[in-house]
Structure 1
Amino acid sequence: MEKLFQKQRINSSWKSYAKRAAVVTFTAFTVIALSGCSLLPREETALQPPLIQPVQEKLDLVDVTRGNIQTSLKGTAIFVSSNVKTLSFTESGGQLKSVNVKLGQEVKAGDLLAELELEDLALQVRQQKLSVERVHLLYSEAVQNGVSGIVKRLKEIDLEKEQMSLQAMESKLNKSQLFSPISGTVIYVDSIKTGDRVNAFQTIVTVADPSSMQLTYAASDAKGVLGVEAGMPVSLKYKGKDYTGKVLQSPSSAPVSTDKAKADSKAVTIVMGIDNPPEGIQIGHSADMIIDLQKRENVIVLPRKAIRSYMGRNYVQIADGERKKEVDVEVGLTTPTEVEIVKGLEKGQQVILNN
């Protein structure tokens, strides 16, 4: 009995211990569960973004006012001679014998510039001159001796025949030679060589008279010289000094040409004269030019950058209180920096320049 009682007491103690251990374990797990986040890194509390006032856009405004606007043609004009002679063999082509001048060479009127190879034509001309002289002497002798009637007429016929032959030979020889019709400077020489074939009307040499100067300006297209008319005044600056002149020929006043190349050139070229030209001007020198074209007074003028364009529409933005408002406009004269407003704006409005 005593052993049985002892065994029951041991079992009771063990059960009591087991219950206490379970309670401790449960308590530990509960504490861990409740404080589990403390074992991990603590997340920082998200901060709210600071309150920042939006930056107010500063508008670049220009007042709508009235003023004047002037369009001008500005460019660089080149000095050329107004007396230019282009030389070619007009009778027929042939084999080139020689070109006797170089580019830039000064020549005098009557100088031989070039000639074709005509074998012994020059010798034949000299011989024919002698024949004419011989027949003329015989005719003069017959007249002095009192010859008349048929004999005299036969002498006259012989002389006329020899003279006609000489004229034909000289004409052929002259047409095979190019003589300078003016004194001046050679500004063009064809790059042909002795022995090359030359065609009729092929330009061989060009001579210009430097004592008769004018200026030319060629635009890139016909629009570049639109509005230029003969007689318009021209402001010129040559070697730092100011000069005046006028338009001598514009595309609208140029002679009509059936040559397409010449017609195309005249359509974009203006010719100007210079008043009291200074000494020392040479062909090829340049001068800055300004030709005033159209002028409008007391009109609405805006900076060109104020105009906005989209799909063929021209418009501006105006300040309407705190808002921006788009207004369609019709433009007139335009310069590189300004534009005329024909319709759409009124004096006193404010146009926004920046986007």
Structure 2
Amino acid sequence: MTQINNPKSTQKSAQKSIIKKLLLPVIALFALLLMVAWLAGSFDEKISPSLNEDINQVSNIANFDKANTYTVIERSDAIFEPVAASVEAKQTTIISSRMLARINTIAVRAGDKVKKGDLLVELEQSDLQSQVLQTKQNIIALQARYKEAKQNFERSEELLAKQLISTFNFDKANADYQSIVAELTAAEQRLSQAETTLSYATLTAPINGLIVDRFAQPGDTAQAGAKLLSLYNPLLLRVEAQVREQLALTLTLEQKIDIELPSINKTITGEIEEIVPAANTGSRSFLIKTRIKHNEHLLPGMYARMLIPAGEQVSLTVPLDKISHVGQLDFVWLNVNGTVQRRFVRLGKIQANNMVTVISGLQSGDVVFTPLSK
């Protein structure tokens, strides 16, 4: 006997199965949300935020020195941006040879002080001296010929005036005279050139300065243009820095700025003497050169910091003796409408005269004082 299924019954069964499948995830999600809310404290008793009078408020103002109060006021302070800089020599030079020659002597070493005109390097000059001597002897011979040619020319002029010689003979005497004059002039020029070349063999200090380093030793062969010594003037130093364009455009020539020198623990005042009118395309900065006074402790290449003005900021300061502490927390006793409240504050840098900057917790006009028990 064949059993026939009811289509309506089958459809209802399928719908119930779908409802069960959807209901289970909804119940699980609801339970999860309840658990999260419980962990977050949603079912706990809430207390609205307020100052705890027992801790932050003191009703008896007699416990405080009412005469020793301080009223907080705003103060505008200049902001300075430190920029890495270096000490550079304003006047420096490299000593090099203008010819190829062997080095005979080097009269200085690194650290030696020299004056303008002092002997630094002496090159081999025997060949050059021979050339000068040979040229001088040649000039002596030419001077004798010149004297003879001049006398012949003057004599020919007199004879030509008396018509005792021909024009041809006079022209020949004149040509001989002019030729020897040209030879003598050329020889004198060669002597001047030989003496100049000989002077290149003796290198002297072009400025008063201090020898930084030497790059050759006696016996070496000096190449034309190759550096032998370097020196600078220690009396003329300056500080140079690459300053970002936004700050550099606010600077002017002759403006005075502070310069920190960490190596000698000093802060000096400099004066801007040059602003290079072209930015560095890599760093978008301008080269600023600052004139400084002579300091015997400064050397080229030392580290410095330029303090570039970058605007102003409003700050609040209070005396250090008004600050109390609880562990690592700082607070002050504040007079609020005749009652005393403890106000926690966040402190900044300690200033001069025992003052400290307050970053947050106070405002201008607040009155703070010190407890008598402190």
Report the TM-score when normalising by structure 2.
0.45
Rg: which structure is higher? 1
